[in-house]
A and B are shown apart, each in its own frame.
Chain A
């Protein structure tokens, strides 16, 4: 089984804090990490490989620094890492990202399965996985929480829905996006970390992709961020303590006044 995992480097989001004076994001000392959802994707690929043999290749489109996220995946056990990097990709929205990543995957040659995270914790769109699948022209299932069965030619998965799950079968090659429930990602071993340090990161530029230049980067992106701003923080309302009966009376009247009980 030849598996390609798409990953993205993101800021370690728990540290994203807002400066109350300027209202902007405080980015000092925020370290860049492998998107947490992509850890599940890498882990699932490694588990399939461990059962069935094959290779796990990780690929990302990003600036040269994104290489460290690739090394994180190598440390977990991925075999090969590919960095698609070129000034021409700057400003890519999800359409252009999907296009570029799909061209990058094509450039790697044969594959059986592509695994993506559910979403990146910075952009939060969850649009790149389905976009890549469509541009590769392969079948797609989102929100996979379990792989029931995988053979040389097909895949049976559970897709998480709002009120339960669907069991879906699809032929290979195909693309899935995975949710947190699917597994518990491993910690990198010391040996893995050593290997990651020395690993060769292969790079692909716009020229290597044989891509249509009009579809890359800002120029190829239908959407643009017009502006971004920090949302008004909800400020706490009343905070009360006291006897239980008092608290209950207050709670009850508040809820009744909201008029939400049918």
Chain B
């Protein structure tokens, strides 16, 4: 790969300098000079220079050493908690099916668990052509070494072209270890996956810079093409009771894998039982709540809507609600169908965690609050009046 500036075409306009997120371009004697030690070949400058066409990137696509054609099929890692399959896993089954059809390949699901044979077998009805279920006492809960080892072994054996997992606390902690072992390309937290059929490439699009920049990533010469996928973005697979497929069960004997970490305890810590990354509806409170007791207003509305409770960092830092409820750049990224922001100004760091929600309602007394710039419906008003009245009105209607 090489990036070049055509001195004849460059007019020294600095558009590229401003476009560069790596601070890698300088104008020297009215010509752009690219610092190769900083450049990451993202192409932002090429786009910025469209008018003059002075910057070009030559990308090599020759496969060196790795026979990419020998890797076939789309594999998905199925995450389970206490034997229940995680919501995101149905989404990657749905997406995996689409990708497999586009590549003209099979969809293989790999499940690690203990005593959940029936649920694992069911996955063929959710679109898998083959399910590999690894069953054993050490696989019941997530353990770093065991999961990394078994999934790496699975990849070595099956040689999939594509490998997907949920971008969850579990997925994002052990899939990078698997990628390190198998020398696969791993794209983090994808929100869109497309196929370039001719080149047999997966085009993986993901947010970076706290959501301010989107990047499309490819893995040209290595296999598998691996990605973790953000929850609530892809459509979940639908149950088709008539579907059939292969089901392979392998027993992993207790103590057969060297595990260096030991799980001493698993503690649940959310106020309500709804995990905010799984919720379809989130009602969030910010500094405008003015104190811990007032969060009851948020909880009541969330409850009547059947949703979960979120918060801005200001509310968390004030100690009004535990950190596990924080939405934003340094909290959780959520994509519910409905996000209701109450007394939240809409700082970029908060937006980074919720801007891809399907529908956003903001309740704020300041008509100029930034949150209104991304809200589908903005309510300029006092939350202490609007929120309880709304809760009451739903209560009456739904008869709670």
Contact = CB atoms under 8 A, between A and B. Distances in A.
Interface stretch (B4-12, B95-103, B179-187): B179-187
Given A124-B207, A227-B43, A222 B260 contact: no
A66 to B, nearest CB: 10
Contact of A228 (B37, B213, B329): B213
- Which of the listed residues B21, B269, B276, B332 has the most CB atoms from chain A within 10 Å of its own CB? B21
A234 B355 contact: yes
Interface string A23-42: 01111101010001100000
B267 A244 contact: no
A198 interface: no
B374 A247 contact: no
B210 A225 contact: no
Interface stretch (B105-113, B219-227, B247-255, B289-297): B219-227
Interface stretch (B69-77, B128-136, B166-174, B237-245): B166-174
Contacts of A169: 261-262, 264
Contacts of B381: 241-242, 244, 247
B210 to A, nearest CB: 6
Interface stretch (A88-96, A104-112, A185-193): A88-96
B177 A140 contact: yes
Interface string B336-358: 01100000000011000001000
Interface of A: 11, 13-14, 16, 18-19, 22, 24-28, 30, 32, 36-37, 63-64, 85, 87, 89-91, 93-95, 98, 121-131, 133-135, 139-143, 145, 156, 159-171, 174, 180-181, 218, 221-231, 233-242, 244-245, 247-248, 250-252, 254-255, 258, 260-262
Nearest to B19: A24
B37 A87 contact: yes
B218 interface: yes
B40 A27 contact: no
A225 B19 contact: no
Contacts of B260: 139, 170-171, 174
B40 A222 contact: no
B216 A170 contact: no
A124 B209 contact: yes
A167 B264 contact: yes
A240 B216 contact: no
Contacts of A234: 355, 360, 373-374
A134 B265 contact: no
B149 to A, nearest CB: 11
15 contacts: A19-B18, A25-B18, A25-B44, A95-B185, A140-B177, A160-B324, A163-B270, A167-B263, A181-B323, A222-B222, A230-B212, A231-B207, A235-B374, A241-B367, A255-B305
B144 to A, nearest CB: 6
A25 B186 contact: no
A226 to B, nearest CB: 5
The 3 closest A-B pairs by CB, nearest first: A222-B185, A142-B173, A239-B378
